Amino acid sequence: MHFGLFAINMGVCAQPDVAVRAAQEAEAAGFESVWTGEHVVLPNPHVPPSPLPPEYPLLDPAVALAFIAGHTRSIRLGTGIIILPQRHPVVLAKELGSLDVVSRGRLLFGLGIGYLKPEFDALGVSFEHKGPRAIDYLQAILALWTQPQPAYAGRFVSFANIQAMPRPVQKPHPPIIIGGHTPSAFRRAVQYGNGWYGFALDFDKTAQCLNGLRDAQRRYGRPEALGGLDITVTPSERLSLETVQRYADLGVQRLVLYRRAQTEAALLEFIAKTAATVIGKA
């Protein structure tokens, strides 16, 4: 089992010095990865289904992870997730490719389609067809990362006669991890992802999602070139060695832990306690 730490760009970790200390402590403690969340903007006033108040601080994922990369050596850097339909794929390919270069190949590219319509409206991006748009954008990014002479002609983006250097360090590209808890999200992960990410799930909900992924694979198939589908979950319950083993038996390869710490001291205490009671004994 690999262990990650969520929210390295938000809340108390929106303070860059705190984020660096947390990432360094997590790296030393045996965490495999740190993960960002994303909302470019938040509705004001706070209205459902927005998960956060409008004044909640969130640093841009690529900026935050690049800063952390410069202060760490080996810990992997995950976007958990980037809301892909809101991002121009040619620009995002450059940003994330650059992040993989400056981190010497540590990027985990987690993506999703989003669910806050006010956020899409503020960015001038249509809320309709966000699933197909995300896959179109993903294919464009992969073309820029892998094709000798990048060219792509899709429904929402097209380009040709261009070049984009440098390419990511990881070959053929950084791992693609697709998030979401719906049948459509399961299909996208099975057909296009190297992994799937389920956020804030208890054990029973995780089991239901894994059944959904298996059903999607039976119905739609999975390209052989993608290999197995790695499973990442942010559990909603506190972990013990017993619960870690239950998730492992279920088929989960990575647990990304989220502690809503209000202070740096509380976050560092959580990292140290997790290392001593779970990571060091798992």
Average per-residue pLDDT for the chain: 97
- Torsion angle of the four alpha carbons 85, 86, 92, 96, in this order, in degrees rounded to the nearest 10: -90
- Torsion angle of the four alpha carbons 69, 37, 115, 48, in this order, in degrees rounded to the nearest 10: -160
* The pLDDT of residue 281: 78
Which residue ranges in the chain fall short of pLDDT 50? none
Contact (CB, 8 A) for 250 and 258 = no
CB atoms within 10 A of CB 66: 19
Every domain of the chain and the residues it spans: 2-279
For 154, the token pair is: 């899709």
* The pLDDT of residue 280: 85
Q: Is the dihedral of CA 247, 29, 198, 223 positive or negative?
A: negative
Contact (CB, 8 A) for 108 and 76 = yes
CA 237 to chain CA centroid, nearest Å: 20
Burial of 136 (0-12, 13-18, 19+ CB in 10 A): buried
For 50, the token pair is: 């927005």
pTM of the model: 0.97
Whole-number Å distance between alpha carbons of 46 and 271 = 30
3-state secondary structure of 102: helix
Residue indicated by tokens 């099975």:
190
Q: What are phi and psi of 131, to 5 degrees?
A: -65, -55
The CATH H-level (homologous superfamily) assignment of domain 2-279 is: Luciferase-like domain (3.20.20.30)
CB atoms within 10 A of CB 65: 31
* The pLDDT of residue 282: 73
* The pLDDT of residue 125: 97
3-state secondary structure of 198: strand
